[in-house]
Amino acid sequence: MSLGKQTPSGFLNQITGGPVRVKLNSRVDYQGVLACLVGYMNIALEQTEEYVSRQLENKHRIIAERGPTFLFITTKHF
Amino acid sequence: MADDADQQQTSNTVEEPLDLIRLSLDERIYVKMRNDRELRGRLHAYDQHLNMILGDVEETATTTEIDEETYEEIYKSTKRNIPMLFVGGDGVVLVAPPLRVG
């Protein structure tokens, strides 16, 4: 995937709809499909799995709230 | 499901994460908070900061202790019930439908 010249918002628009992994400040990992992402970095994830060190829960839909909560969002899975 | 067109914003498609919360009004929800706290209650109101009013709430606070002899981690949960609660959006990490067991 060539990045070229991209803005963070361009990247975020690009990954919407696809599988992502989100790590929170509190060492919890979420993997799911990114349904949407809005201005304050509030996101909605579908079919999410929550990992601390192992798989904990399966949630059909989650809203993860706020930029300050995330460490990062990536498309790369375990 | 994977192919829901972005073009067609029907009532089934989530436009904003806050829409998902709006759909959960008056339903029971699960809220994960900072400091290892979890809430399960009925959502009465919310705003864009994710401040919420929850009714009939059960709060679970999980603490980890380390046994000094075996150095094992011991997880302890404390639960309490609160009939009506205002939640500050600051502490909210995620909001989801309550977990279905199994």
Separation CA A14–CA A11 (nearest Å): 5
Closest chain B C-alpha to A47 CA, distance in angstroms: 11
- Rg (chain A; Cα; Å): 12
Ranges of each domain in chain A: 8-74
Chain A residues at the B interface, defined by Cβ less than 8 Å, are 17, 24, 26, 33, 35-38, 42-44, 46, 57, 59-66, 69
- Give the residue from A38, A37, A64, A36 showing the smallest Cα distance to A50: A64
Of A26, A35, A59, the CB nearest to B93: A26
Q: Chain B partners of A64 at a C-beta cutoff of 8 Å? A: 17, 93-94
Per-residue pLDDT of B7-60, as tens digits, reads 333 444 556 788 878 888 999 999 989 888 999 999 999 998 889 999 999 999
Contact of B80 with B59, CB cutoff 8 Å = yes
Separation CA A24–CA A32 (nearest Å): 14
Ranges of each domain in chain B: 18-96
ipTM over 0.90: no
Contact of B29 with B41, CB cutoff 8 Å = yes
Per-residue pLDDT of B62-90, as tens digits, reads 888 888 888 888 888 899 999 999 999 98
Q: Which residues pair with residue A23 across a beta bridge?
A: A29, A72
Contact across the interface for B94 and A57, Cβ inside 8 Å: no
Q: Chain B partners of A24 at a C-beta cutoff of 8 Å? A: 93
- Rg (chain B; Cα; Å): 17
**Distance set, CA A48 to CA A34, B14, B19, B46 (Å):** 9, 16, 18, 23
Separation CA A73–CA B7 (nearest Å): 24
Contact across the interface for A65 and B14, Cβ inside 8 Å: no
- How many CB pairs below 8 A link A and B? 56
What per-residue confidence (pLDDT) applies to B9? 39
Handedness of CA B93, B97, B99, B102 (dihedral sign): negative
CATH number for region B18-96 = 2.30.30.100
CATH of A8-74, one of 2.30.30.100, 2.60.120.560, 3.30.70.100, 2.30.40.10: 2.30.30.100
Q: Does B2 have pLDDT greater than 70?
A: no
Determine contact: B73 vs chain A, CB below 8 A: no
Strands (E) located in A1-78:
19-24, 29-37, 43-51, 55-64, 70-74
What per-residue confidence (pLDDT) applies to B27? 92
Q: Does A13 have pLDDT greater than 70?
A: yes
What per-residue confidence (pLDDT) applies to B11? 45
Per-residue pLDDT of A38-77, as tens digits, reads 777 788 888 888 887 666 777 777 666 665 788 888 887 6
Q: Does A1 have pLDDT greater than 80?
A: no
